[in-house]
Amino acid sequence: MDIKGIIGEVSKVVFGKERVIDYSLVCFLSGGHLLLEDIPGVGKTTLALALSKVLGLSFARLQFTSDLMPSDITGVSVYDPKRGEFTFKGGPIFSNVVLADEINRATPKTQSALLEAMAEGKVSVDGITYLLPEPFFVIATQNPVEQYGTFPLPESQRDRFTMRLSLGYPDPEVERDILMGRNPLEQVSQLRTLAKPEELKEVRKEVSKVFVSPQVAEFVVELGNRTRNHRDIILGASTRGLIHTVNAAKALAFMRERDFVVPEDVIDVAPYTLAHRVILREEADAEAIIREVLQEVPVPR
């Protein structure tokens, strides 16, 4: 798979955000899901559309609102009078890439409809389990500033997201080009498709085989312990968080053309895999605290 080509193609519409594109691909290849926490209008939807187009995957967008029901996500059983039986009509969750836009605007009951899908790649409706297409990748967005009419994600659901990223404002030069008519969203359809679902499934299998040494595993465990005993952290990283950190480090190592993980891979992904999982004693920059912890943990040779 042409990793550099994929990143370059997505960069044609997501300008000046190579780091975010890199780590979005890391998240995808690790088999996880992505939380984009950012203000509206900075390109989150464009990123999701571009990734699905270049990777050759089906795409569905769900606008989360307070009146959205779980069945609007999973689908419903509809009575067919000709057959005299109920037929299941799958919802938008039955896509390879699902954009859950403004996920914190829906009620907890609706948010929880994603939990089984994200954790197990399947949904249960009327007592029947349906498998979701592979690969399956959820990209959820939320506005970290606006609180009116929102329902904060519970810790258990935040823990399901492998990584949390933020696009931020574009550089002035990029913003000028957009204002002069270079609308990124309109150019997504012109992007080349450089992969296929079957190929991506095989690549994910290769990523899962990337070697993790006992020393690197101990490094990650110590990192987790430091977050659990940090003076500014009430709730430290979970075991699932550490598993996701290792999986992301494997994907990053694979993208760096290695079949083994080194501590630098862990150091690079940890701020994005752990910061959204910890609960702080007071308002602070969680990523900065994770980076501080990383500096305190002895790096194995």
Quote the CATH superfamily of domain 209-296. Answer: Magnesium chelatase subunit I, C-Terminal domain (1.10.8.80)
Q: Residue 288's pLDDT is what? A: 92
Is the per-residue pLDDT at 226 higher than 70? yes
Per residue in 252-300, pLDDT (tens digit) is 999 999 999 999 999 999 999 999 999 988 877 899 999 999 999 999 8
Is the per-residue pLDDT at 10 higher than 90? yes
Task: Report which of 211, 259, 228, 274 is spatially closest to residue 32, judged by C-alpha positions.
Answer: 274
pLDDT tier at 145 (50, 70, 90 boundaries)? low
CA 295, distance to chain mean position in Å, is 26
Is the per-residue pLDDT at 207 higher than 70? yes
Cα(287)–Cα(264) distance, integer angstroms = 16
pLDDT-wise least confident of 23-27, 157-161, 247-251: 157-161
For domain 3-190, say whether CATH 3.40.50.300 is its number.
Answer: yes
Per residue in 76-133, pLDDT (tens digit) is 888 888 888 888 888 999 999 999 999 988 888 888 888 888 888 999 888 888 999 9
Annotated domain spans of the chain: 3-190, 209-296
The answer to whether the 3-190 and 209-296 domains have the same CATH topology is no
Phi (first) and psi of residue 79, to 5 degrees: -75, 125
The tokens for 265 are: 């891979």
Model pTM above 0.85: yes
